[in-house]
Amino acid sequence: MATVELAIILPILLMLVFGTIEICQRIFLRQSAVIVAYEGARLAARGSSTNAEVVARCQQLLISRRVRNAIVTTQPSNFLQSPTGTELRVIITVPWADNSPTKVVVADQGTMAVSAFMLRE
């Protein structure tokens, strides 16, 4: 009788455990992208940073947080020529499939994009 109960409950329990791991990883991934976008926007708002410096710093932070194959874009295309008060935006796009630990429970299709903006000083 116990073997039958285990055979019924074990797949459900494993699905719950792996689903919890997957959802926690996705929350961590989103939070990591938000932090990186914020730090990039903060660097851009200082007024002396170029777009290349902001992208390089964001890539460095993404690597340190173990986020793979993320794309960093900035708007406008040249921070140094933007007048004071211009909205400077950093967008981080992360593919789910490249950053999933389990790939068992939740489909790994698509991307997640977050952005942060600050006004140029």
- In percent, the amount of the chain with pLDDT more than 90 equals 58
Domains: count for the chain: 1
pTM confidence score: 0.84
Q: How confident is the model at residue 121 (pLDDT cuts 50, 70, 90)?
A: confident
Residue 97 has a pLDDT of: 83
Query: In which band, very low, low, confident or very high, does the pLDDT at 66 lie, cut at 50, 70 and 90?
Result: very high
Containing structural domain, residue 19: 2-119
Q: What percent of the chain has pLDDT over 70?
A: 94
Minimum mean pLDDT among 46-50, 54-58, 68-72: which range? Answer: 46-50
Q: Which two tokens stand for residue 84?
A: 């004071």
